[in-house]
Each structure stands twice: as C-alpha cells, then as structure tokens.
Amino acid sequence: MGTTVDARKFAETKFDYIVVGGGTAGLTVASRLAEVSSLTIGVLEAGTSGYGDHNIDIPAYSGRALGGPYDWHFQTTPQPGLGGRTLPWNRGRVLGGSSALNYMTWNRGSKEDYDAWEELGNAGWGWDSLLPYFKKSERFHPPPPEFRDNHQASYNEPNTSLGNDGPINVSYTRDFSPSHALWHATFNELGVESNPAHLDGSNVGVWTTIVAVNPETATRSYATHYCLTPPKNLHILTDAMVEEIILEKDDGEWAATGVRFSRYGDTYDVSASREVILSAGSVQSPQLLELSGIGRVDILGVAGIPVKVESPKVGENLQEHIMLPMVFEVDPSLPHPDDLFVDEIAATAYEQYQRGKSGRLTVLPCSMCYLPVSRLAPADDVASLLSKSRELERFGPEEASILSRRFNADKQLGQVEFVFDLGNWNPSSSSDEEGKRHCSMLLVLQYPFSRGSIHIGPDAGPRAESPPTVYDQPLIDPKYYGGPHGELDLQIMLHGARFAQKICSTKPLKNIIPGPVSPSLDVVTDDDLRSWIVENTITDWHPIGTCAMGGRAGREDGVVDERLRVYGVKRLRVIDASVMPLHISAHLQATVYAIGEKGADMILEDAGLRSQ
C-alpha cells in the first residue's frame, strides 16, 4: 500500500487533523475522516508497513511476528505478585498496529460490559449505541450450511448483529484443529450449553469463534485494509516517531496545534488546524501526554518535565487480562502446529494453501468458552468473593457496585475465558519431549480487580538528570496479583485452574489427553496450585484504561470526556483502547475498531461535518 515518503513535504502540508499512530484505532479514524473530501488528514506511524509479509498475513503463522521487527519489545517492571518476574508486552510497531500481530480472534463483550461504561456517566457508550459501530467496521462472510453443522459454526439467523460491508473481513476459518471437534461435546457433558449467538450481547457458554480473516484470500484482515488505496486527502507517513504534542495558549487555555516528530535522524513540526487525535494505544498514549506536559504533577516533576495541564489519572487505571497457560500431553498421532517447522510438511501445507486457500495454514485457535465464576466455584466461595470485593476501598461507589455485582448468582457474565489449542503456550514449560506432543488450555481473567499504571521514568528517586524521551520505554506496572485487589484475582484464577483440569479430564477431550504436564501431578493442594499460578501467569496483550473516560467524576476519575476530548486541553482527543474505563469480557480488536468508528463520527459531528 502507498504511504507518503517525503517527511519534509508531509510537515509542510496544511492538515486539518493529525492522527498519531497508524494502528487499529488510528487508521479507522483517519480513513473515516478522509471520507470528507474537503478535509486533509495526516497519519504518523512509528513502524513500517508489513503489508504482504507472510508472518502477518498467513493465519497459522500468527504469533511469529511477536518479538520481531514489527514489535515494540515492551516489558513490565518486576512484579512482586508474580514472584518478581518481568513479562514481555508485545505491541505492534507496524502500520496496522497490534491488529497486524494478534491472533485474529473476533468477538465482543457482553451487553452489560458496555452498559457499565454508560452507567459511569459516559453517555452514548452503551451496547445499543455501540452496536452500529461494531457493524460498520465488519464484513461478515457466512459459512455454508454443511460447514455450520460440521464445526458448530453457528450464529443467530437472520443475521442482524453483524456487519455486511465494512472494511474488516470476518469469517470462520477454512479448517480446524482436530481437537476442535471435541470441544463443544466436552463442555456439553459438563452441563455448559453451546451459545449460537455469542456476538449478540452475551458470550457465556461454549462456541466457535469467528476471526479477522478474508476467506477469499485466506489472509489476515487488519487495520491497513481501511486504507489500502488511500484517497488523495489522506497522507500516511511511516517510520515517523512522534516525540510530543505541541501545545500553545489559546484564550488562556492550552490547545493542541500540532506534533513534533522525527524520521531518520531529522526532526519536524507539523500543524493541525482542527485537532490532534492521539491513537498510540494504552502504552504510548499516556506516555505522549506526559512527555507533552499533561499528567500527574509528581510524575512530571520527578521526570523534569514542566507541567502544562494537571491531569491526575493519566497513565493510571491500567487493567489487563491475566492469562494462565496450562499444558497437557496430547495424542502424538494428531496433526500438530509444530509439524509446520518440518521443511517437508511445511512445504506441502504451503502448496495446499496457495492452491486452494485451505489446509493447515488456515487453522487458528477457535475453541472458546466464557463462564461466570458461579460455574467454577462452590456457592460459599462465590459468596466469599462477593464479600471481599465489597471491602475494596480503591474504587468509587458506582465502579465498586458494578464490579461486585458481577458475582451475583443471577449475573451470567463471562468472568473467565477458556481457549484450547494444540501446542505449548507456556513460556516457562519445557518443550516437547521426544515422541510427545503438547496442548494448552488457556484461562484468561476478564474482569481484573488489579489496577496498575504506565508512566514515564524515572521509577523512583531524585529528579531525573535529563527528562525522559519517547525513546525511553515507559514504566509498565500492571500490579498483577498485587494487594487485596490482586488477591481476589488470584482466587478466581485458582477456581478457573481447577475447572480447566476438570475439562481436560472429561470425555471426549480426555480421549486425546494422556495427562498433565504443567502443572504436574505433584501440584496437588490449593497452596501448591496458587504457587504454580504465580510462577506461570502471563499477559494476554489486552491493556486498557490508561486514558479512560471520566464519566460523571470528570478529571478526578479520567483523562477524556465522553466525546474523547482530553480534559484541560482544546483540540486534542484520545481514541484507542486506553479510553475504556472498565475492562470487557472479550478480545479487544472488534471493540477498538468500534471505538475508532464512533470517535471519527464524534469528530465530524462536533465539527459540523458529515462524510461525503
């Protein structure tokens, strides 16, 4: 795809809007604004274009780009709740952002997840208001009837909840892992019903997920597909690192007038006559706000950055899905992802993929189940969790009520996600032994009570000798399992791990699982399992909340208002996952596209413009 290549020409262009970050939300916003032909839109992306790279495009290669040249290579601070471990936090440094690196899962949270945002005072962010924007981003490809029957690839018909003409192609995979045929039957045996309408406002139950794949080409569909052929009024500059937002006084108030960026050693200023839109993601949007003088007084003071706008919640409220990969042996006769590293097998699979857009290179993890804690734990334990959640002091009354009532017996919300896949997803577990193959049961906490932060350095101590820059990694501290909030998360994960063991010892799934690997049979007691959980928990790459909508509490509880405008700064918005005030029970990408779609619509509405 084409991008602007002349940085000086880009800097001299008279832009109406500058979008910082050419990722999932950024390209959504920019392309929708560019539909108004009278506007001129600029996008600055720190990474390069990976369009056409097999490690991005081919479904079964998902994950291979993690840790490579398209990755920011972030990592957390040492986590006391994880025994002092640090975790890698992979984020996309590439046109398309993390939508170019993820595992392509396409789902939505429950209706109540989004209604909770509105309940906090963020008008227009409930399920009913967001659904049109979910649909606007997507083009759903229905599978043939026999496919639905064979793979339980079902959805409500007639289809009223999925989009038909959006830029992101979503579909069921062409082929499935051999274990998938056992997934629904195993949960049904455990009394968990299949959910044929998991995109319609409730994801509770077992189902087969759709993915962001174009079935016509069998390739990843991601944010670059919003602008494969950019119109003349959309200018995209890659390999451009934004260093700060330029703020100037306007009638006594600070206003964003442009940004400063560098490219190949040269630095440029570029202006935006209408607005600057920050879409750098949950890690770098708060980082850039702080580097520009917007944030907590103490953080900026220690960093040596003059405070322009005091905004105490910048970088706070970090919430992240917590993932626990449990590893089991699996029948070695089954086709396995590791086979694709064998030259002869890989060559045959690639030939089939090229010839028919089918076969093993189209397989993705598609076996999903979301369950409330009440399905995982005895009633007395759930009551204890509810009681402990009400004792937590950090949250305001509205947020505390939302978080606690998710434990109520009548609430059918997916608090824990279960995903099954062939292969070893645990970086702490040893690789397959000779003659043995592994599978993974992933359990993911959806509504964490832990709250962390992302800030510029230094971490502690006296004032910095020189202010940090965008080239210094921010301090990412999710506070996994930290304090009484994290203790609640750990207890939920303990119940989830026990249920995961039960799943893998239930037929028909049990028929292909000879036994456990990690945790081993030596992990018996709850104390043993808790220790193992602490040693093996990893990230699920779903951070949100660091520039959250403040709702009725305003700047005391957030960074942006319900129109995504930054408190205390004119002509500056944040539009990405960081604006989400509470986490959702879902993978993020579909929601981030919807945020981008809605954000663009708000910009046009506030400017008195409409797409043409």
Binding-site residues for FAD, in ranges, read: 94, 242, 541-542
Q: Are 325 and 426 in contact (CB under 8 A)?
A: yes
For 382-418, the three-class secondary structure string (H helix, E strand, C coil) is: HHHHHHHHHCCCCCCHHHHHHHHHCCCCCCCCCCEEE
Nearest to 236 by CA among 14, 36, 30: 30
β-pairing verdict for 74-75 and 88-89: antiparallel
pLDDT of residue 150: 78
Per-residue pLDDT averaged across 285-291, rounded?
A: 98
What percentage of the chain reaches a pLDDT higher than 90?
Answer: 88
- Quote the tokens at residue 560: 């942006």
pLDDT of residue 423: 93
CA dist., res. 426 & res. 135, Å (int): 35
Active-site option among 225, 321, 455, 542: 542
β-pairing verdict for 437-445 and 322-330: antiparallel
- Mean pLDDT of all residues belonging to the chain: 94
**Helix, strand, coil percent content, the chain, rounded in steps of 5:** 35, 25, 45
Q: Is the pLDDT of residue 460 over 70?
A: no
pLDDT of residue 75: 97
542 in active site:
yes
pLDDT of residue 145: 80
Q: Are 325 and 442 in contact (CB under 8 A)?
A: yes
Amino acid letter for position 286:
P
CA dist., res. 132 & res. 344, Å (int): 47
Instruction: Report the residue count for the chain.
Output: 612
On whether residue 293 sits in a domain, the answer given is no
Residue with the larger pLDDT of the pair 89 and 146: 89
Amino acid letter for position 435:
G
Q: At what angle do helices 589-606 and 127-137 cross, to 10 degrees?
A: 100
Number of domains in the chain: 1
On whether residue 177 sits in a domain, the answer given is yes
Amino acid letter for position 406:
R
Q: Are 472 and 455 in contact (CB under 8 A)?
A: no
Q: Half-sphere exposure of 595 toward its Cβ, with a 13 Å CA cutoff? A: 30
User: Hunting for tokens 């639905």 — which residue is that?
Assistant: 148
Q: Where are the beta strands (DSSP E) in 12-64?
A: 15-20, 41-44
394-408, 443-457, 570-584 — which is least confidently predicted?
394-408
95-109, 152-166, 176-190, 591-605 — which is least confidently predicted?
152-166
CA dist., res. 100 & res. 103, Å (int): 9
On whether residue 3 sits in a domain, the answer given is no
pLDDT of residue 409: 80
Q: Are 521 and 554 in contact (CB under 8 A)?
A: no
Per-residue pLDDT averaged across 147-164, rounded?
A: 79
Instruction: Report the CATH number at residue 442.
Output: 3.30.560.10
Q: How many CB atoms lie within 10 A of CB 527?
A: 10
β-pairing verdict for 234-237 and 219-220: unpaired
CA dist., res. 480 & res. 488, Å (int): 11
CA dist., res. 528 & res. 294, Å (int): 45
Rounded alpha-carbon distances, angstroms, from residue 258 to 13, 22, 59, 146, 281:
12, 16, 38, 54, 19
176: domain range? 109-223+319-335+365-456+471-539
Binding-site residues, in ranges, read: 94, 242, 541-542
pLDDT tens for each residue of 536-563: 999 999 999 999 999 999 999 999 999 9
pLDDT of residue 430: 73
Per-residue pLDDT averaged across 230-250, rounded?
A: 97
On whether residue 230 sits in a domain, the answer given is no
How many whole angstroms from its chain centre is CA 424?
22
Nearest to 31 by CA among 604, 605, 606: 604
Q: Are 405 and 378 in contact (CB under 8 A)?
A: no
Q: Are 341 and 463 in contact (CB under 8 A)?
A: no
* R_g over Cα of the chain: 23
CA dist., res. 113 & res. 116, Å (int): 5
Amino acid letter for position 148:
R
Q: Are 100 and 50 in contact (CB under 8 A)?
A: yes
Per-residue pLDDT averaged across 175-188, rounded?
A: 95
What φ, ψ does residue 605 adopt, rounded to 5°?
-65, -45
On whether residue 178 sits in a domain, the answer given is yes
On whether residue 373 sits in a domain, the answer given is yes
Rounded alpha-carbon distances, angstroms, from residue 505 to 194, 208, 230, 320:
19, 21, 52, 29
Q: List helix spans (H) across 281-378.
A: 281-291, 297-303, 343-356
Is it true that the peptide bond before 458 is cis, omega within 30 degrees of 0? yes
Could you say which DSSP state residue 482 is in? -
Per-residue pLDDT averaged across 4-29, rounded?
A: 95
Q: At what angle do helices 397-405 and 111-119 cross, to 10 degrees?
A: 160
Is it true that the peptide bond before 158 is cis, omega within 30 degrees of 0? yes
Q: Is the pLDDT of residue 2 over 60?
A: no
Please, is 376 exposed, middle or buried when counting C-beta atoms within 10 Å of its C-beta (0-12, 13-18, 19+)? buried
Q: Half-sphere exposure of 610 toward its Cβ, with a 13 Å CA cutoff? A: 0
pLDDT tens for each residue of 387-433: 999 988 888 899 999 999 998 888 899 999 999 999 999 998 876 56
Residue with the larger pLDDT of the pair 194 and 433: 194
CA dist., res. 368 & res. 207, Å (int): 5
pLDDT of residue 435: 74
On whether residue 565 sits in a domain, the answer given is no
Residue environment code for 211-226, b if the CB has 16+ CB neighbours within 10 A, otherwise e: bbbbbeebbbbbbbbb
Give the pLDDT band (50/70/90) at residue 199. very high
Q: Is the pLDDT of residue 156 over 80?
A: no
Q: Is the pLDDT of residue 461 over 70?
A: no
152-156, 260-264, 466-470, 531-535 — which is least confidently predicted?
152-156
Q: Is the pLDDT of residue 315 over 80?
A: yes
How many whole angstroms from its chain centre is CA 56?
17
What φ, ψ does residue 431 adopt, rounded to 5°?
-70, 170
